[in-house]
A and B are shown apart, each in its own frame.
Chain A
């Protein structure tokens, strides 16, 4: 059975229409009009147990609205959904005992008291047995290296420290399905990779199903076997990450810094015959754009040794770039897009 099963899920919000100006405002006082905004438009997907799935799309695409329906916070306008065997909004209190939720931007923890106190309280709220709790806490604390932090009040933690504590708070009751909304937002690279490897291990050891939203393609590359992409409330892609990147990724960029002045036309000469594009700001720096079907190393092989390079930086596309490039691909590709979107119905997951 799928851990998350969604059929034709829709959410419409009623938004008040404001008439302009003073006169309009007076009219509004007595007679009001509303606009309907559909944030999520009849989406369907299934996520099997033990899968890590990335849920991506631009701001306002409907990601958060979907997550909030899946976690029982919002009641859908229409459609069917079950998560871990429950209809989330119907038996909310029973249902949420099996899930863990982390909203990257909001805290689960009590601001003024020690972290451990929050954990103790959550143990009671989730009715976790003392022994299970001890075992689980020890495990998490050791894995995330929180020993020093347990007695500090949350307001004295750094963002990275706090986020690790948030994870513990969401996982103390050992949920089988975990929702993460922007779990790495604002964190530095070290903490990000720590959190990624932690989530990966948890998925492997406990078979936890994870659905996460993110703007960081590296989160997805490190974690997800599957990506669902949302645009304007509809799913426009559901499948593997590689395929997504191949179809829409614009490519990668490599930024070079040179020790001595290097002319642009010389660089172009070096990569002659390759479908790459060079741009330069000045004689000491240049950027090359490499399409996805090419290996970066082939390009590097031609340039390294031929020029006096002091620094190389490879820039990967992030999900926003991919999404943007899908929009910009214009009407010519719309048909292809539609084709791609169709099979999701039956296949569920590629």
Chain B
């Protein structure tokens, strides 16, 4: 309850700040959409040269992409740690966070909420609807609950991975970190992982489980029998990776050295 109350307070402050810089808001939304559009272009270009990608049709791949956008938008709305190392460690704002009576990671999430990202989720839903109709996918009673559960689970996987990686900046002295490099990798979970060889499949399934934020859960709606088991594992993976993230984070905070003298 306390934490939900704080969330609404921070959102209010976000809106107040945002109203001061209105132009920025639209630039950000627009650039986000363009970013997504370029990814769709890749899919369309590929399917101009082939009819199927390891047995997946264009509509199926586009559907996976649509699903992929939904948890990503949710995650990007609540978790924004891209400049964590610079802002909180180098400039020492972590000091302030640690002297306040709310969980420190939660405070950092709150201070960086980014509601415009949710627009991406909406567009993702739209893409799912359109390609789902093209494919004639059935709409069952469990479709919506499953979508919600899988979205939360996938967002939790993102959160776990990125919290772990961000926490590395407590241990390492690298100022930029390796997070930007992850951008490419997470997008690989959008394609049927069966096209990759074993090593990469294992990596994308168990080590950096980005297949669980894209193709596996989407496979459930696409009635891909071979992925159903994996899709049902998504919540478990979410729980595991959030736990890992929180564990590494709390170890990292104990290692925090503070900025300056």
Please determine if A and B sit in direct contact within the complex, based on CB atoms under 8 angstroms apart: yes
Interface residues, chain A, with chain B CB atoms under 8 Å away: 13, 16, 59-60, 64-65, 68, 71-75, 89, 92-94, 96-97, 99, 101, 103, 106, 108, 110, 112-113, 117, 120-121, 124-127
Report the minimum CB–CB distance from B147 to chain A (whole Å).
32
When the two chains form their complex, are residues B16 and A92 in contact, meaning their CB atoms are under 8 A apart? no
When the two chains form their complex, are residues A121 and B13 in contact, meaning their CB atoms are under 8 A apart? yes
Which residue in A68, A101, A112, A126 is a CB contact (below 8 Å) of B258?
Answer: A68
Pick 22 A–B contacts, CB within 8 A, sort by A. A64-B258, A65-B258, A73-B99, A74-B256, A74-B257, A74-B258, A75-B255, A92-B104, A93-B101, A94-B101, A96-B99, A99-B99, A106-B93, A106-B96, A110-B13, A112-B16, A112-B21, A117-B13, A124-B9, A125-B101, A125-B102, A126-B100
User: Hey, which chain A residues are within 8 Å of B101, CB to CB?
Assistant: 93-94, 96-97, 125-127
User: Hey, which chain A residues are within 8 Å of B17, CB to CB?
Assistant: 110, 112-113
When the two chains form their complex, are residues A65 and B261 in contact, meaning their CB atoms are under 8 A apart? yes
When the two chains form their complex, are residues A127 and B2 in contact, meaning their CB atoms are under 8 A apart? yes
When the two chains form their complex, are residues B99 and A16 in contact, meaning their CB atoms are under 8 A apart? no
- Complex CA–CA separation, A332 to B102 (angstroms): 52
Report the minimum CB–CB distance from A330 to chain B (whole Å).
26
B22 within 8 A of A: no
User: Hey, which chain A residues are within 8 Å of B93, CB to CB?
Assistant: 106
User: Hey, which chain B residues are within 8 Å of A127, CB to CB?
Assistant: 2, 101
Report the minimum CB–CB distance from A150 to chain B (whole Å).
14
Interface residues, chain B, with chain A CB atoms under 8 Å away: 2, 5-6, 9-10, 13, 16-17, 20-21, 92-96, 98-104, 173, 254-258, 260-261
Which residue in B5, B103, B257 is a CB contact (below 8 Å) of A13?
Answer: B257
When the two chains form their complex, are residues A73 and B13 in contact, meaning their CB atoms are under 8 A apart? no
User: Hey, which chain B residues are within 8 Å of A89, CB to CB?
Assistant: 254
- Complex CA–CA separation, A73 to B96 (angstroms): 9
The B interface is mostly helix, strand or loop, or mixed, namely helix
When the two chains form their complex, are residues A16 and B173 in contact, meaning their CB atoms are under 8 A apart? yes
When the two chains form their complex, are residues A59 and B261 in contact, meaning their CB atoms are under 8 A apart? yes
When the two chains form their complex, are residues A72 and B256 in contact, meaning their CB atoms are under 8 A apart? no
When the two chains form their complex, are residues A96 and B258 in contact, meaning their CB atoms are under 8 A apart? no
Known: A13-B257, A75-B256, A92-B104. 9 other contacts (CB 8 A): A64-B261, A65-B258, A71-B99, A92-B98, A93-B102, A93-B103, A108-B96, A125-B100, A127-B2
When the two chains form their complex, are residues A113 and B13 in contact, meaning their CB atoms are under 8 A apart? yes
10 tightest A-B contacts by CB?
A: A97-B101, A101-B99, A73-B98, A112-B17, A93-B101, A75-B254, A113-B16, A96-B101, A124-B9, A96-B99
**Which residue of chain A has the shortest Cβ distance to B102 in the bound complex?**
A125
User: Hey, which chain B residues are within 8 Å of A64, CB to CB?
Assistant: 258, 260-261
User: Hey, which chain A residues are within 8 Å of B5, CB to CB?
Assistant: 124
**Which residue of chain B has the shortest Cβ distance to A61 in the bound complex?**
B261
Which residue in A59, A94, A124 is a CB contact (below 8 Å) of B6?
Answer: A124
When the two chains form their complex, are residues B99 and A121 in contact, meaning their CB atoms are under 8 A apart? no
- Complex CA–CA separation, A117 to B94 (angstroms): 21
**Which residue of chain B has the shortest Cβ distance to A126 in the bound complex?**
B101
Report the minimum CB–CB distance from A209 to chain B (whole Å).
16
- Complex CA–CA separation, A13 to B101 (angstroms): 26
